[in-house]
Chains A and B, each alone.
Chain A
Amino acid sequence: MKWTDYFSKAPALWPDMAGKWPVFIQKVKEMAADETARKGFPHARLEAWRKTSLKSWQNARVEPAGMSNGLDNGNPFWGDAVHIRMVNGIPLKPWQTENGVQFGRLSEAVQRLPGLVEEYFGRLHAMSDDVVTDFNTTYFSDGLFVYVPAGTGSVRLEWANAIDARKAYMWNGRMLVIVEPDNRVEMTGLDFSEGKALSAGTRVVEIFVKENAVFRSYGWQQFNDVSALIAHQFISASENARVDVFNFPLNGGLLREEIWADITGSKARVNLHGFYAPTGRQQTDERIFVAHGAVGSYSHQQYKGLIDGHAKALFNGRILVRPGAQQTNAYQKNDNILLSDDARAHSQPFLEIYADDVSCSHGSTTGSLDAEALFYMQQRGISHKAARRLMLYGFADEVIGQIPDEHLQKFTRRLVRAKIDGALRPGMDILALNKEQNLSLTE
Chain B
Amino acid sequence: MNKQTPLLEIKDLHAAIGDKEILKGVDLRIFPGEVHAIMGPNGTGKSTLAYVLAGREGYEVTRGEVLFNGKNLLEMSPDERALEGLFLSFQYPVEIPGVSMTNFMKAAIDAKRKYHGQEPIKPGEFLRLYREKQDMIGLPERIRNRAVNEGFSGGEKKRNEIFQLAMLEPLLAILDETDSGLDIDALRAVAEGVNRLRRPDNAFLVITHYQRLLNHIVPDYVHIMHDGRIVRSGDKDLALELEEKGYRQLARQNA
Contacts and interface: CB of A to CB of B under 8 A. Distances in A.
A378 interface: yes
Nearest to B54: A379
B104 A380 contact: yes
A396 B97 CA distance: 10
Interface stretch (A155-163, A203-211, A365-373): A365-373
A378 B56 CA distance: 10
B108 interface: yes
Nearest to B94: A376
Interface residues of B, number: 32
Interface of A is mostly: helix
A386 B82 CA distance: 14
A397 B104 CA distance: 14
Residue of B56, B96, B115, B168 most packed against chain A (CB within 10 A): B96
B97 A384 contact: no
Nearest to B78: A378
Contact of B87 (A370, A379, A386): A379
B110 to A, nearest CB: 9
A376 B104 CA distance: 11
Instruction: Name the interface size band of chain A.
Output: 20 to 34
Interface in A362-413: 370-373, 375-384, 386-387, 390-391, 393-398
A390 B96 CA distance: 10
B164 interface: yes
B74 to A, nearest CB: 15
Given A371-B57, A390-B103, A378 B97 contact: no
Contacts of A379: 54-55, 78-79, 81-82, 87-88, 90
A376 B97 CA distance: 13
Interface string A60-89: 000000000000000000000000000000
Please indicate which of the listed interface residues A370, A373, A380, A390 has the most CB atoms of chain B within 10 Å of its own CB. Answer: A380
B225 interface: no
Contacts of A381: 79, 82-83, 108, 111-112, 115, 168
B99 A382 contact: no
B98 interface: yes
Contacts of A398: 97-98
A235 to B, nearest CB: 28
A377 B97 CA distance: 12
Contacts of A391: 96, 98-99
B94 A373 contact: yes
A395 B147 CA distance: 11
B77 interface: yes
A380 B96 contact: no
Interface string B99-133: 11001100110011001000000000000000000
B103 A380 contact: no
B108 to A, nearest CB: 4
Contacts of A372: 94
B49 to A, nearest CB: 15
A239 to B, nearest CB: 36
Q: Which 7 A-B pairs have the closest CB atoms?
A: A394-B98, A381-B82, A380-B108, A378-B78, A394-B99, A376-B94, A378-B79
Given A375-B56, A391-B99, 13 more contacts: A371-B57, A376-B148, A377-B107, A380-B107, A380-B108, A381-B111, A381-B112, A382-B108, A384-B77, A387-B79, A390-B107, A391-B96, A394-B100
